[in-house]
Structure 1
Amino acid sequence: MRRLLGPTALRDRVPGGPDGRRMLAVTLVDRIGSGLWAATAVLYFTYVADLGTAEIGLMLGVSGAVGIAGPPLGGHLADRLPLRPLLVTVQAVRAAAALALLTTTDLWPLIAITAVGSLGDRAASVLTKLYATRVAGPERARYQAVNRTVANLGWAVGGLAAAAALTVGTTTVYRCLLVGDGLSFVLAALLTLRCHEPPSAARVVAAGPRPAAGTTPDGPVATPAAEGRPAPATGAEPAPVRRTTPWRDRPYLLYTATDAVLCLDDSVFKVGLPLWTVTATTAPHGLAPLLLVLNNVLVVLLQVPFARFGTTPAAARRALLPLGAVCLAGALALAASAAEPVWLACTALILAATAFTLAEILHAAISWELSVSLAPAEAQGAYLGVHSLSQAVQRSAGPLAVTGAIAVGPVGWLGLGGALAATCLAQHRLVRGRTGPALSDPPVTVSEHRSPTH
Structure 2
Amino acid sequence: MLTIALVDRVGSGLWASVSVLYFTYVSGLSVGEVGTLVAAAGAAGIAGAPLGGRLADRVPLTRVLIAVQLLRALASFALLTTDHFALLVVLCSLGSLGDRAANVLTKLYATRVAGADRVRYQAVQRTVANAGWALGGLTAAAALALGSTAAYRWLLAGDALSFAACALLTLRCHEPRATSRTVATSKDPSSTAGPTSPWRDRTYLAYVATDTVLFLDDAVFKVGLPLWIAHTGTAPHGLAPLLLVLNNVMVVALQISLARFGSTTAAARALLIPLSATFALAGVAMAASATGGTITTTLSLTAAAVLFTLAEMFHATIAWELSVALAPETAQGAYLGVHGLAQSAQRSIGPLAVTGAIATGPLGWLTFGSVIAMTCAFQHRLVRERLAPKPLSVPPVTVSEH
Task: Identify the TM-score tier after normalising by the shorter chain.
Answer: over 0.9
TM-score of the aligned structures, taking structure 1 as reference length: 0.84
- 1:36 corresponds to: 14
- 2:349 corresponds to: 397
- 2:213 corresponds to: 261
| Equivalent position amino acid for 1:329 in 2 | L
CA contact (8 A) 1:281 1:337 kept: no
Residue 304 in structure 1 maps to residue 278 in structure 2: no
Aligned partner of residue 304 in structure 1, secondary structure:
helix
Q: Provide closer, same or farther for how the CA distance between residues 242 and 86 of structure 1 changes in structure 2, counting only shifts above 3 A.
A: closer
CA contact (8 A) 2:183 2:191 kept: no
Residue 108 in structure 1 maps to residue 60 in structure 2: no
- 1:143 corresponds to: 121
| Equivalent position amino acid for 2:204 in 1 | Y
Q: Count residues with an aligned counterpart.
A: 390
Cα deviation per residue 1:14-55 (whole Å; 9 max; x = unaligned)? xxxxxxxxx000000000000000011111111111111101
CA contact (8 A) 1:313 1:436 kept: no
Residue 91 in structure 1 maps to residue 43 in structure 2: no
Residue 68 in structure 1 maps to residue 20 in structure 2: no
Q: Distance in 2 between matches of 1:426 and 1:244?
A: 25
Alignment identity in percent? 62
List aligned pairs for 1:365-384, cutoff 5 A: 365-384=317-336
Q: Distance in 1 between matches of 2:62 and 2:317?
A: 25
Deviates more, 1:102-111 or 1:274-283: 274-283
C-alpha deviation, 1:286, in angstroms = 1.0
C-alpha RMSD of the superposition: 1.3
- 1:232 corresponds to: none
- 2:247 corresponds to: 295
C-alpha deviation, 1:282, in angstroms = 1.0
C-alpha deviation, 1:238, in angstroms = 5.7
| Equivalent position amino acid for 1:246 in 2 | P
Aligned partner of residue 257 in structure 1, secondary structure:
helix
Q: Provide closer, same or farther for how the CA distance between residues 56 and 209 of structure 1 changes in structure 2, counting only shifts above 3 A.
A: same
TM-score of the aligned structures, taking structure 2 as reference length: 0.95
- 1:419 corresponds to: 371
| Equivalent position amino acid for 2:357 in 1 | A
C-alpha deviation, 1:63, in angstroms = 1.2
Q: Distance in 2 between matches of 1:365 and 1:437?
A: 21
Aligned partner of residue 144 in structure 1, secondary structure:
helix
Structure with greater helix percent: 2
- 1:214 corresponds to: none
Q: Distance in 2 between matches of 1:408 and 1:124?
A: 37
Aligned partner of residue 388 in structure 1, secondary structure:
helix
Cα deviation per residue 1:113-148 (whole Å; 9 max; x = unaligned)? 111111111111111110111001100000010011
Q: Distance in 1 between matches of 2:389 and 2:39?
A: 41
List aligned pairs for 1:322-341, cutoff 5 A: 322-341=274-293
CA contact (8 A) 1:99 1:182 kept: yes
CA contact (8 A) 2:52 2:101 kept: yes
Gap runs ≥5 in structure 1: 1-22, 211-236, 439-454
CA contact (8 A) 1:281 1:339 kept: no
C-alpha deviation, 1:341, in angstroms = 2.2
CA contact (8 A) 1:208 1:241 kept: no
Match of 1:201 among 179, 188, 193: 179
CA contact (8 A) 1:264 1:394 kept: yes
CA contact (8 A) 1:205 1:241 kept: no
Residue 25 in structure 1 maps to residue 3 in structure 2: yes
List aligned pairs for 1:432-443, cutoff 5 A: 432-435=384-387
| Equivalent position amino acid for 2:312 in 1 | E
Q: Distance in 2 between matches of 1:114 and 1:238?
A: 43
| Equivalent position amino acid for 1:433 in 2 | E
Q: Distance in 2 between matches of 1:61 and 1:39?
A: 16
Cα deviation per residue 1:276-299 (whole Å; 9 max; x = unaligned)? 112125111111111111100100
- 1:52 corresponds to: 30
| Equivalent position amino acid for 2:386 in 1 | R
Q: Distance in 1 between matches of 2:80 and 2:368?
A: 41
Cα deviation per residue 1:227-286 (whole Å; 9 max; x = unaligned)? xxxxxxxxxx86545420000000000000000000000001111111111212511111
- 2:144 corresponds to: 166
Aligned partner of residue 292 in structure 1, secondary structure:
helix
C-alpha deviation, 1:301, in angstroms = 0.7
